[in-house]
A and B are shown apart, each in its own frame.
Chain A
């Protein structure tokens, strides 16, 4: 007939493939290539410039023997759990409140969302200031007469990471609220009617019916929050520079510091490889389940 051979696989859907070249290049060259490059050089003793002097796993032995790295990991875990839990909880509660057909919804929403427009650098600076024990919140309350009042998270090693979380939540929950609100708006009104007729209390409806229905929203939200958590850097630098001491160090900062301050690229790369590895272990299987299924052809 008109075509006797099946068209070559490669040229089927050609336009889509051509259009995806930037994505493919980014994925392969930048993300895969860059990552492979990083991993490769993590086995070297590169200092200021990348060089291929292999030293095996030395950088990794050293990494895991470094107290600062261990503190960084611990901080990231605490910060991650706090961010994740509170972002979702606060974001959802605010969204649920805004979804009650309230007055001034626009105003409230704008108030909750605006911090997201500000960079982490700005956020860090402002909160560094608000949490300054001398003239921030603690200072003001002490001046009001409550002299024993203590709220100085940024200057207290054991709670400094919570101080950073406060700022992070301030900056980030607005977006989460928006996502959640959008998700809530997407829920069929009939569900609410059904729950009301059945006499299910509102909180139960949310917990057992609405939230499970919002799975896709939660997934997008999780991607956004989690990627932000792993990458947290600017905020810490702007707010505490990792201090007091090394109490608020985070892995991304360790990577940066060792690559550029300490001029020990190998060590920095080893640390980033560990970060990547842990991200991959969690993300890749999930991403395959989530996005790999052929929902359409």
Chain B
């Protein structure tokens, strides 16, 4: 142990002393990917970056974006920026860009012909502010998946459902077998996200857009959305016995057959993979809850704060290129369970579910996601509402819908 510490200390000193040469530059990258599948995916990025002769200094901050983001923002505004940082692309980093704290990557993008390779185009659009490109999208994440445990349904003696409605119908059987029908983790973003998925799946693409893109409060209070709230009410009843907080614990309930299913993004797939489960055999995935097969083009992106150090700035460029390298894209996304942002990569290794996603993507059944449509502020209000709704059976559907419409009315 002591030896290990000593070497670490030596290495640190060495790094300090020889940070000069352009060949090997340490670049600190902060992110909040710390779950099993996520960490494995980050390792791929680090490996690729280290292969360029630079060094990836990992700045993982556990506990989701909420813990990590203030740290990142504080450091950038505090004058101690990291080399690169993860953000959900979309509106989160807008202001940092406007304040001139983020690096313009247009040159790198032009060199790498990003506009041609990145698909769908909307991804790069969210990175573009004032005609300049400020971030590197690394994956496409879609929320609209229902993950079902084949074991659980077998145990309950009902066939694995093919869409949400069948699933709701099967819930009593699951319950009888001592299985929690639907796993929804206690964290607020999970219940909120589940509702958004229901809105897109049960309500349909138009409903979804009308509410979140057009922010039509009257519509949000109307009968179309009421239907969605009815579905959310079902979900709430099905989920009432989930006693976990983290999303991957909820996923784990599905993996182990303690829960029938979970509405969660495609990142859940990484967990199934780490657990050695096979899509189709052990579990089933239903994009768009089997009702409306669409995929949202949310996802993660890396931003590069403006740095004074020339070597580090150069290393940033290298990292930006590396992130979009086809090989890196494949390796990373396979581990992460998300879809690559390049259309020109070979994804034969992709599994069943991923292929479904790719097919939908190819069809162009793509919708923008709430990250792009709503400010974090409105998102948070929505999270508060749905977290309360899911936890409080006394809250009526009508009351929830009214409050939802209020949020939409003031949303930006």
Contacts and interface: CB of A to CB of B under 8 A. Distances in A.
Direct contact of A and B (CB under 8 A): yes
Interface of A: 47-49, 62, 66-68, 132-134, 155, 157, 240-247, 256-264, 267
Q: B interface, by DSSP: helix, strand, loop or mixed?
A: helix
B73 A260 contact: yes
A16 B149 CA distance: 72
B384 interface: yes
Q: A interface, by DSSP: helix, strand, loop or mixed?
A: loop
Contacts of A246: 188, 384, 387-388, 391
Contacts of A48: 73, 92-96, 376
A48 B392 CA distance: 31
A209 B188 CA distance: 51
Nearest to B389: A245
A82 B410 CA distance: 37
Contact of A155 (B243, B380, B390): B243
A62 B412 CA distance: 14
Nearest to A256: B70
Given A47-B375, A49-B96, A241-B187, A258 B391 contact: no
Contacts of B93: 48
Contacts of A264: 375-377, 380
Contacts of A243: 186-188, 245, 387, 391
B399 to A, nearest CB: 10
B62 to A, nearest CB: 12
A257 B382 CA distance: 13
A258 B188 CA distance: 13
A246 B381 CA distance: 11
A42 to B, nearest CB: 15
Interface of B: 65-66, 69-70, 73, 77, 92-96, 99, 186-188, 243, 245, 375-377, 379-381, 384, 387-392, 403, 410
A142 B84 CA distance: 51
A62 B73 CA distance: 25
A256 B387 CA distance: 17
A142 to B, nearest CB: 14
Contacts of B391: 157, 243-247
Contacts of A155: 243
Contacts of B77: 49
A49 B93 CA distance: 10
A252 B407 CA distance: 22
B380 A258 contact: yes
A67 B389 CA distance: 12
Contacts of B384: 66-68, 246
A49 B97 CA distance: 11
Contacts of A242: 188, 387
